[in-house]
Amino acid sequence: MIASFHLVHYSRPKLRQSQFPGADGLCFWRPFSTGPDFTALKPNFTRVTLAKPEFRRWGFFGIWQEEAALNHFLEASPVAREWQKRGAEAWHVWLQPIRVGGSWQGIKLLEGLDPVEAPNAPVAVLTRADVRLSKVPVFWLWATCRAVTDIRETPGFVAGVAMAERPFVEVATFTIWQSYGDVTNFAYSRPAPRNRRAK
């Protein structure tokens, strides 16, 4: 089992993705609209900056039965041909899953995955959240700016991008770190938010 992430910058804005036709060996597929690059944000970035979509760039995440299926998809699929035809540039990452947690709209991705020892190499992390409508104001008015600021200031952070399946309520990030240890340090060593209690 292998996963992949694709970041495609189109030559023209694309407001939505066409229905995906499927591919041999594909187990799971999701497109994402994208927001800003975390490394390109100015120090005084705003909530509006984080929420503003970049319609020229889309992200895609897939899970494949084997690497050969992913390679064939990139070489011969209609989707890959569209990326080559309409895309100004594209960036593809082959991912060996190390850890997985939670579910994706009730789907247990990579269920039964045996834990893999973290490599002494850069790692990528995809996070996703379903935001309740009642929590949308708090999430976007407070939590997002704090989280992105923390990511940018954490040692070992390399690059990242904000994404969404559905604007404001189904949100995600894709980040790259120098090591798995840097990821765990960020996830478990952050100070608790001031004047707030976890519920």
For the segment 67-112, what is each residue's pLDDT rounded down to a tens digit?
Answer: 999 999 999 999 999 999 988 899 999 999 988 888 888 888 887 7
pLDDT tier at 190 (50, 70, 90 boundaries)?
low
Identify the weakest region by mean pLDDT among 19-23, 130-134, 160-164, 187-191: 187-191
Written as one letter, the residue type at 57 is R
pLDDT in the model for residue 196 = 38
For residue 24, the enclosing domain spans 2-189
pTM score: 0.88
pLDDT in the model for residue 195 = 38
Buried b (16+ CB within 10 A) or exposed e, 47-79: eeebbebbeebbbbbbbbeeeebbebbbeebeb
The answer as to whether 70 is a domain residue is yes
pLDDT in the model for residue 35 = 93
Structure tokens at 199: 């519920």
The answer as to whether 101 is a domain residue is yes
Contact 162, 34 (CB under 8 A): yes
The answer as to whether 81 is a domain residue is yes
Mean pLDDT for the stretch of residues 105-134? 86
The gap between the terminal CA atoms of the chain, to the nearest Å, is 36
The answer as to whether 44 is a domain residue is yes
Concatenate the DSSP letters of all residues of 140-172 into one string.
IIIIHHHHHHHHHHSTTEEEEEEEEEETTTEEE
The answer as to whether 196 is a domain residue is no
**Average of per-residue pLDDT values in the chain:** 88
The answer as to whether 198 is a domain residue is no
Per the structure, the count of domains in the chain is 1
Mean pLDDT for the stretch of residues 142-164? 92
The answer as to whether 194 is a domain residue is no
Contact 123, 177 (CB under 8 A): yes
The answer as to whether 168 is a domain residue is yes
CA distance 137 to 131: 10
